């Protein structure tokens, strides 16, 4: 039975404030195989690591990130006070460059392009900005781009064909999903765990497509998925899953 790679979803986000350098470092510490992060664009065109379109949920601020400059975002406390209290007070929203530098030479990064951050601006949009950072850090072989937004992935295919791409999907017919992954020149499909079926696995295998799913935090659920032969599994608690895999539980 193939053992899936374990992806630290937004870093080790059960133990540390999600999408922060602390969460990414903790993901490395527990031995996660890959580190996933989400990116958004600020008002002044800087790529920051943040899941939501607003800063309300995970910081002590409020408002839309696209209406804030990088300097304004950096003033916020990203210690996720509503979840962790003051335990991680002083954490900041990292830039993509800062996050990738933590991982460079250690583990590969999955960078999710949020659908809301994709604009009509192909030349100066989030895709071009992300490619510029990846190239600046010479990490083309250490980064994969994932997204629900097919248009964004097609742009990456054009801008940086050497950077691996993966299509995330939630509710879509299998033939359409496999056609889409072929269209973007990828061999990686990331269906939500409720979409995993024998039929999907068989058709993906026949098409030479690897399957990775999300979000699995319970070792029992991981065991239930084990017979599908998944390539990777995203988890908010990567250490817990890795302990289960290592112990054989």
Q: What is the DSSP letter of 231?
A: S
Give CB contacts under 8 A, 24+ apart, made by 57-64: 57/82, 58/17, 58/18, 58/19, 59/93
Helix intervals (H) in 30-95:
70-74, 81-84
Q: Which of 25, 43, 51, 74 is catalytic?
A: 51
51 catalytically annotated: yes
Strand ranges inside the chain, DSSP E: 5-8, 34-41, 47-49, 108-113, 143-147, 164-169, 188-191, 210-213, 232-235
Phi, psi of 65 (to 5 degrees): -65, -30
Using alpha carbons, list the distances in angstroms from residue 19 to 35, 193, 208: 10, 22, 31
CA atoms 192, 117, 38, 160: torsion sign: positive
Nearest CA to 92 out of 63, 58, 126, 45 is that of 58
Contact 38, 19 (CB under 8 A): yes
Q: What is the DSSP letter of 171?
A: S
**10 Å Cβ neighbour count for 104?**
15
Nearest CA to 66 out of 50, 80, 89 is that of 50
9 catalytically annotated: yes
Q: Would you state the structure tokens that stand for residue 48, as one six-digit string?
A: 């920051």
Q: Which of 4, 6, 9, 17 is catalytic?
A: 9
Please give the positions annotated as active site.
9, 51
């Amino acid at each position: 039975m193939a053992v899936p790679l374990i992806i630290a979803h937004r870093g080790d986000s059960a133990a540390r404030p999600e999408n922060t350098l602390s969460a990414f470092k903790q993901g490395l510490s527990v031995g996660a195989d890959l580190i996933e992060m989400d990116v958004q664009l600020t008002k002044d065109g800087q790529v920051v690591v943040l899941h939501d379109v607003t800063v309300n949920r995970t910081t002590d601020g409020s408002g839309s990130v696209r209406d804030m400059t990088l300097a304004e975002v950096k003033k916020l406390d990203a210690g996720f006070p509503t979840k962790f209290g003051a335990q991680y007070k002083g954490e900041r929203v990292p830039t993509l460059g800062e996050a990738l530098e933590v991982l460079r030479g250690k583990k590969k990064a999955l960078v999710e392009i949020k659908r809301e951050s994709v604009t009509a601006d192909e030349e100066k949009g989030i895709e071009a900005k992300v490619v510029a950072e990846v190239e600046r850090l010479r990490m083309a072989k250490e980064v994969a781009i994932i997204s629900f937004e097919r248009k964004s992935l097609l742009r990456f295919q054009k801008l940086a064909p050497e950077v691996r791409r993966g299509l995330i999907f939630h509710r879509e017919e299998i033939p359409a999903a496999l056609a889409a992954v072929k269209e973007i020149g990828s061999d990686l499909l990331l269906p939500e765990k409720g979409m995993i079926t024998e039929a999907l696995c068989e058709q993906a295998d026949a098409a030479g497509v690897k399957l990775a799913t999300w979000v699995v935090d319970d070792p029992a659920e991981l065991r239930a998925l084990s017979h599908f032969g998944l390539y990777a599994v995203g988890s908010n608690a990567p250490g817990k899953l890795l302990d289960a895999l290592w112990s054989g539980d």
